[in-house]
DNA sequence: TCTTGACTTAGAGTTAACTTTAACTGTTAG
DNA sequence: CTAACAGTTAAAGTTAACTCTAAGTCAAGA
């Protein structure tokens, strides 16, 4: 299959239809096509894009920043540098976050071992 | 030094005075003492507690859950088991989260390398 | 044909976690 | 003595990210 209703897409990407419409309204998903009855039709590349949005969001990027990234993406290779700079900066942020999580993990483990 | 005004404590733990009062109002910081003029006085163990709150919060625990943990903590060793069960469950959540972050890191790195 | 169910929209409501305001009090430096 | 400053309170306001409601449309099955 390569076309999905909003219900099917929402199952596929594990987001509610509400959220998918919200993301679209916020400009994160441009060009979602509609059928003759006005119902959204998601393509595989839409799902891929949503997958990457989930990745950025899951690593702490705000929807506003994700939109900025998406807008650069829309402008193709003209904005390749800016886009990649954003990703590289974000990569550093993720690395830092993993470090912090590991530190916090140790704190929690120490507390568990403390037994008081 | 071992006593801090709210301003000093807020610098120490890198949270605003607003946030410290808010945490207290939400029951996360019981027994914050006050001086004769009614001003909060933070002790070293208050700062330690705030540090652990930041650890739990930074690993995705909600303030509501953090309060639950704190409430168990207040009840001493009677609730030791429950408390540690909470921490162990949270430990798993952190481990899972680190895994997810690493997966997302790879996705971002792949996108960077893609060069399109 | 009728009804069921998934969809549509605009706009209102919710939640968590702050953050600010207003009006006030007490401490300290000049 | 007084002005500036750091603190106090209760309550209102803010923000991000959803989440839901109301009113309606459309297609498919009994």
pLDDT at residue B78 greater than cutoff 90: yes
The answer to whether the Cβ–Cβ distance between A104 and B58 falls below 8 Å is: yes
pLDDT (0 to 100) of residue B1:
59
Average pLDDT of span B44-62? 98
Asked if residue A24 has pLDDT above 70, the reply is yes
Average pLDDT, chain B: 96
Domain ranges of chain B: 3-114
Residue A115's pLDDT is 76
Contact A42, A34 (CB under 8 A): no
Closest to B101 (Cα-Cα) out of A28, A63, A111, A97? A97
Q: Is the pLDDT of residue B92 over 80?
A: yes
CA of B61 to C1' of C12 (A): 29
- A residues 66-85 near B, CB within 8 Å? 77, 80, 84
Buried b (16+ CB within 10 A) or exposed e, B31-45: ebeeeeeeebbbeee
Q: Which of B91, B100, B116 sits opposite A108 (nearest CB)?
A: B91
Question: pLDDT band for position A57 (50/70/90)?
Answer: very high
Q: Does the beta carbon of A3 lie under 8 angstroms from any beta carbon of chain B?
A: no
**What is the mean predicted confidence (pLDDT) over A34-51?**
96
Q: How many CB atoms lie within 10 A of CB A105?
A: 18
Say what the pLDDT of residue A1 is.
Answer: 60
Please name the helix (run of DSSP H) or strand (run of DSSP E) that holds residue B88, with its range, or none. Answer: helix B80-114
Helix (H) or strand (E) holding B54: helix B44-58
What's the token pair of residue A4? 């999905």
Which CATH number is B3-114's, of 3.40.50.2300, 1.10.1660.10, 3.20.20.140, 3.40.50.300? 1.10.1660.10
Note whether A59 contacts B102, CB cutoff 8 Å: no
Cα distance from N-terminal residue to C-terminal residue, chain A: 56
What does the CA dihedral B9, B15, B21, B24 come to, rounded to 10 degrees?
Answer: -90
Closest C-alpha among B51, B33, B115, B10 to residue A107: B51
């Amino acid at each position: 299959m390569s076309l999905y209703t909003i219900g099917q897409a929402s199952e596929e990407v594990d987001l509610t239809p509400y959220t998918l419409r919200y993301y679209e309204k916020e400009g994160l998903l441009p060009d979602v096509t509609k059928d003759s009855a006005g119902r959204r039709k998601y393509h595989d590349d839409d799902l891929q894009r949503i997958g990457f949005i989930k990745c950025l969001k899951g690593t702490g990027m705000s929807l506003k920043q994700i939109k900025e990234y998406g807008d650069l993406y829309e402008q193709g290779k003209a904005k390749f540098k800016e886009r990649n700079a954003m990703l590289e900066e974000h990569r550093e942020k993720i690395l830092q976050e993993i470090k912090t999580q590991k530190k916090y993990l140790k704190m929690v483990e120490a507390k568990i071992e403390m037994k008081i």
